[in-house]
Amino acid sequence: MTDTPKTVADAAAEPAPGRPNVFVLSTGRCGSRTLVEACRHVTNYTCGHETRTSAIGPARLDYPPGHIEADNRLAWYLGRLERAYGDRAIYVHLRRDRRATARSYAKRYDRGIIRAYRLGILINLPKDSEPVAVCEDYCDTVDANIEAFLRDKTRTMTFRLESAHGDFARFWELIGARGDLAAAQAEWDVAYNASDAHGRGFMPGARPPMWRRLKDSARVALRRLAARGGGGSPRE
């Protein structure tokens, strides 16, 4: 049976007693956008993709209760995530075949987080370094950070892109989701945020990414205000 979809205002106004935050941690390039699109069919959580990336300080991790957030940059905020949420949240380690992830990043070698990693973290990297090898090093670093962070967490799961349909059913049960599971599963048959041979992203059948990001941010802001009752302070 499918729940009646709620509007943004309904989702913002509904309290979330006992509903934890859900954080999807990953290297990126492994299905996080699609996971969020699938979660839009969940009616008892809000969800978003990289909704707080423009914030600094405590606001960076100030998510409303009952929110699912997928943001690969959270792998660089694990200490602060521990301080703000600790073992109260549900954590999902989203993974994809290491070589496939690295090849996807190699198509975007001159921009985004992989550019920051090879120029800002791997200082003095030889110019003749193999791009895929550099991207594999990035993947190994991020996945190791996530694995160490999750070692003492109670509610976690590994979600593999290669078995997305089965793992999403497990995810649905883990978080106690309500909504249209069949419609959510269908999102895994759509290519979101894929790259062409030149690393240019495209989202077949989807709205422009900026439009979607603004909508996500507005939804999160409404839920955050509702959770505070118009006042209060951030979690961190």
pLDDT in tens, 205-222: 334 455 555 665 565 566
Tell me the C-alpha distance between 121 and 206, whole Å: 34
pLDDT of 47 reads 98
Which position has the higher pLDDT, 23 or 213?
A: 23
- Does the structure show a pLDDT above 80 at 188? yes
pLDDT of 135 reads 98
CATH number of 8-103+142-228: 3.40.50
- Does the structure show a pLDDT above 60 at 126? yes
- Does the structure show a pLDDT above 50 at 30? yes
Cβ atoms < 10 Å from Cβ of 162 = 12
As given in the structure block, the two tokens for residue 160 are: 């593999």
Question: In a 3-state reduction of DSSP, which class is residue 59?
Answer: helix
200 burial (CB, 10 Å; 0-12 / 13-18 / 19+) is exposed
Across the strands, what pairs with 67? 46
CA distances from 53 to 204, 211, 212 (A): 24, 15, 14
Q: Model pTM?
A: 0.78
Tell me what percent of the residues of the chain surpass a pLDDT of 90.
72
List the Cα angle 36/73/52 in 5-degree steps: 65
